[in-house]
Structure 1
């Protein structure tokens, strides 16, 4: 039941990202999606990957949110179609209720997803052959940050000059 609740929160957060006009609500939706996804991973006993994913995703999203909120001048942010979000969430709730109450869909044996995951360890993430890709991606992100700051510093009327 916790899995379905986390999936409903994940759906609501992703629809909030798609239907919001303002970057404030988009950032709220991204935070909701990232936290619910990491809780779902930790519920499936993949704790280390969930923690790393949360830290990296929230750090990158914080930088994007700062720049996108500095570029907008919304005093009163709004969501475009809250009715569609409510209808989509209601449809997903009804659909999961039908699936939960269906006796043929739920298996009675112990071959569910929590027992079938067998991860020996997460050291393969930091293997020596992948280290060059991590370093290369760090340099690319640094060059992108310098390019964005250089482009925005030439504009006198940009709101990024205040930062």
Structure 2
């Protein structure tokens, strides 16, 4: 289990470096999907199976809409990819920074952090986070309605910003 979570954490760092180093929104959105999936895998490994599912669905439902519109606005005939020299330079700089931080915190890193909850019953659906769903819908129902309206308002704001010259939400590329 420790090896799986360590592998997921390394993949999370690679996904975040892919997002941070790439100026083109096409490849950065793919890096964000990878980072979100691997981050939810880390949450599953630490006992938050329902929470990770909810976060991943919210991410896929909400954030990818914004990246689709930003990719439509930044349409380039030849976007920079991960193989270009400038992007590879940023990847090396970010990975060296991550290596420096890992070197600073290498001693005694496992004693007080990354403890799996619920007595090491990994990947079980009977966890503490599933009992909070009833509380979220009963006491937090008003906040859920407010969040839904805010997301709808955000969608209309993005549609208005990407409208172009009065031709609706579609933009000629």
Alignment correspondent of 1:119:
128
Where in structure 2 are the equivalents of 1:78-157 lying within 5 Å? 78=80, 79=82, 80-89=86-95, 92=98, 95=102, 99=106, 106=110, 113-115=115-117, 119=128, 121-123=131-133, 126-153=136-163, 155-156=165-166
Alignment correspondent of 2:37:
35
Where in structure 2 are the equivalents of 1:61-80 lying within 5 Å? 61-78=63-80, 79=82, 80=86
TM-score (norm 2): 0.71
- The whole-number CA distance in structure 1 between the counterparts of 2:91 and 2:52 is 27
5+ residue gaps, structure 2, are 120-126
| C-alpha contact 1:38 1:50 (8 A) present in aligned 2 | yes
TM-score (norm 1): 0.74
Q: Call closer, same or farther: CA 1:136–1:155 in 2, change over 3 Å.
A: same
Give the paired residue count. Answer: 156
- The whole-number CA distance in structure 2 between the counterparts of 1:112 and 1:69 is 36
5+ residue gaps, structure 1, are none
Of Structure 1 and Structure 2, the greater helix share is in: 1
Alignment correspondent of 2:170:
160
Which of 44, 69, 75 lines up with 2:46 in the alignment?
44
| C-alpha contact 2:163 2:169 (8 A) present in aligned 1 | no
